[in-house]
Amino acid sequence: IRLEFDVKTAFLHGDLEEEIYMKQPDGFLVKGKEDYVCRLRKSLYGLKQAPRQWYKKFESVMCEQGYRKTTSDHCVFVKKFADDDFLILLLYVDDMDP
C-alpha cells in the first residue's frame, strides 16, 4: 500500500530556538511607532532556520509515535509492529505549488 500526504504551510510550524526580530510589515505600522520591530514566535517562509526547525518538529512527533529514523537517511522513518509488520515513511520537501 502506498499513501501520500502533504503538510500545507509546513515551514510555519517550526518552533524558533533563538530570538529573531523583523521590521513591521506594510499595513501593520502604528503611527508614532514606525521604528518598532516584531519578535517572531514561529518560523516564516524565507527564514533560513525554517526548514530545519520544521524537520526537528516533525522528527519529534514521529519519535513520539514510535517511529525511528534510519541511520543511513534521516528522512526515512520506520515503525515496527509486534506481528513483524512494519511501516516505512519517506519524508521529502518539494516546496512547489501545484
Tell me the pLDDT tens digit for each residue of 19-72.
999 988 888 888 898 889 989 998 888 899 998 999 999 999 999 999 999 999
pLDDT: which is higher, 97 or 5: 5
Sequence spans of domains, the chain: 10-90
| Under 8 Å between Cβ of 45 and 11 | yes
Residue 41 makes CB contacts below 8 A (sequence gap 6+) with 16
Tell me, what's the pLDDT at 83?
93
Report the relative pairing of strands 76-80 and 37-39 from DSSP bridges: unpaired
Tell me, what's the pLDDT at 67?
97
Taken as a whole, the chain contains a residue count of 98
| Under 8 Å between Cβ of 50 and 14 | yes
